[in-house]
Amino acid sequence: MTIEASKSEQKAAKIRLGMVGGGQGAFIGAVHRMAARLDDHYELVAGALSSTPEKAMASGRDLGLDPARCYASFEEMADREAARPDGIEAVSIVTPNHVHFAAAKAFLERGIHVICDKPLTSNLEDAKKLKEVADKAKALFILTHNYTGYPMVRHARELVQAGELGEIRLVQMEYPQDWLSEPVEQTGAKQAVWRTDPAQSGAGGSTGDIGTHAYNLGCFISGLELDELAADVDTFVPGRRLDDNAHVMMRFRGKDGGRPAKGLLWCSQVAVGHENGLKVRVYGTKAGIEWTQADPNYLWFTRLGEPKQLITRGGAGAGAAAARVTRIPSGHPEGYLEAFATIYSEAAAAINAAKAGTLVDPSVVYPTVDDGVKGVAFVTACIESGKQNGAWVKV
């Protein structure tokens, strides 16, 4: 461990931020707000926090927002904020999935940067349309696949990019949970209700909610592109309307003309004993790595024929990509909120460069609309393969 001096904290003016969704009773909105605050690059100044006007207003008051900037709809917020000289420069979209498309479109088309929760949209058609919008927009689109912000995930990716693993052969991803082991959506629990409702979530249940995270992370670390998948998709809990477990076999395109790699993905919301058991393992011809979200400050790294190494965030063996996004010394754990905050800080770096008309530092990394399209395509392919009795489906 080395106790280092703090990095020079940025002196750029704070980015004026709005939020869509995330009012009283929501979960992920508060996470986004903490993430936005941690590194001090944003100031929350406006919100369309709920689709219920009274709740939108009350939620804004809770957060100390100017009542004049608490809107009853994102459309109104987009219009009014775009017209203000001190209007928001960026917006966080933290609603259920089915709202993402229209909301993101509204802000992007007004030149307001969008930081959007995943999955990108509730169906592939919307995802592709959103990509078109984003590609044409004068504003950035950042998708909060927040696990890509963990320092040891960055290090894993750097090891792969540096060739330390050799040619990748296997990518094993899993994300088991147990909170939907019983039909809790029937008790009215808000988080369970919308996440198991096709109208709000789209066609994927566990595949969309957590499978996309595991898939995104496997690709982020390995640098591979999925070619096709075969999925056995289940709904174990009687009465549930979306999948709560999926087994997925994957075939990735070979890199640089090399042999295709294979993968396995398991996502589950009925695996009793797991809270948020996201784990990614990647094996190449020269080395293998393993990372687990619940213990995120560690990365197992083994070179073929050498002892296993436990690389720690901030410790010996962690490279430049991890160091960039590390806040505190090794042995003092960083967690989920810090990783989430890193996505916000990467977004801020990109937004500030855009504002300044300069190039963004090439080491800045965040998930894009393209990653979002891939995620929705993954869910779509899982559901399609599931319907076809596990046949291979191209993505």
Neighbours of 230 (CB within 10 A): 19
C-alpha–C-alpha distance, residues 305 and 285, integer Å? 11
Nearer to a second copy, 39 or 109 (CB): 39
Q: Which is nearer to a second copy, 71 or 336 (CB)?
A: 336
Give the Cα separation of 302 and 300 in Å (integer): 7
347 touches 115 (CB < 8 A): yes
Nearer to a second copy, 131 or 240 (CB): 240
Q: Which listed residue (331, 387, 388, 394) binds a second copy by CB under 8 A?
A: 331
Beta carbon of residue 373, minimum distance to a second copy (angstroms, whole number): 25
Among 54, 85, 306, 359, binds a second copy (CB under 8 A): 306
Residues 79, 158, 179, 364: which binds a second copy (CB under 8 A)? 179
Contact criterion met (CB below 8 Å) for 74 and 20: yes
Q: State how far the alpha carbon of 220 is from the alpha carbons of 30, 78, 109, in Å.
A: 26, 32, 28
Binders in 138-167 for a second copy, by CB under 8 A: 165
Structure tokens given for 105? 């479109």
Nearer to a second copy, 109 or 290 (CB): 290
Beta strands in 102-225 (DSSP E): 113-116, 141-143, 168-176
* C-alpha–C-alpha distance, residues 101 and 195, integer Å: 17
User: Should residue 230 be labelled a site residue for a second copy when binding is judged by CB under 8 A?
Assistant: yes
In the bound state with a second copy, the residue whose beta carbon lies nearer, of 105 and 118, is 118
Contacts of a second copy in 243-262 (CB under 8 A): 245, 247, 249, 251, 259, 262
* Contact flag: residue 266 with a second copy (CB under 8 A): yes
* Among positions 215, 336, 344, 378, the unique one binding a second copy when judged by CB under 8 A: 336
Question: What residues numbered 338-367 form the site for a second copy, per CB under 8 A?
Answer: 338
* Residue among 117, 55, 59, 62 at smallest CA distance from 92: 117
Stretch that binds a second copy, among 22-30, 81-89, 120-128, 219-227 (CB under 8 A): 22-30
* Residue 168 burial class via C-beta count within 10 angstroms: exposed 0-12, middle 13-18, buried 19 and up: buried
Closest contact distance (angstroms) between CB of 221 and a second copy is 15
357 sits in the region (left: phi over 0; alpha: psi -120 to 50; else beta) called left
User: Which residue number, 137 or 348, has a Cβ lying nearer to a second copy?
Assistant: 348
Q: Judged by CB under 8 A, which stretch of 58-66, 100-108, 344-352, 369-377 contacts a second copy?
A: 58-66
**How far apart are CB 264 and a second copy at their closest, in Å?**
5
Query: How far is residue 295's CA from residue 215's CA, in Å, rounded to a whole number?
Result: 19
Q: Residue 246 — φ and ψ, nearest 5°?
A: -145, 140
Say whether residue 319 binds a second copy (CB under 8 A). Answer: no
| Among the listed residues 72, 102, 170, 353, the single contact to a second copy using CB under 8 A | 170
Helix (H, G, I), strand (E, B) or coil at 256: helix
Chain positions 26 to 45 lying near a second copy, rule: CB under 8 A, are 26-27, 29-31, 33-34, 37-40
Torsion, CA 121, CA 385, CA 220, CA 204, rounded to 10: 30
176 exposure class (CB count in 10 Å sphere: 0-12, 13-18, 19+): buried
Where does this chain touch a second copy (CB under 8 A) — which range of 109-117, 119-127, 174-182, 211-219?
174-182
Scanning residues 283 to 302, which ones bind a second copy (CB under 8 A)?
A: 283-290, 293-297, 300-302
Tell which one of 198, 317, 323, 360 touches a second copy (CB under 8 A): 317
Query: Using the rule CB under 8 A, which residue among 52, 53, 62, 125 binds a second copy?
Result: 62
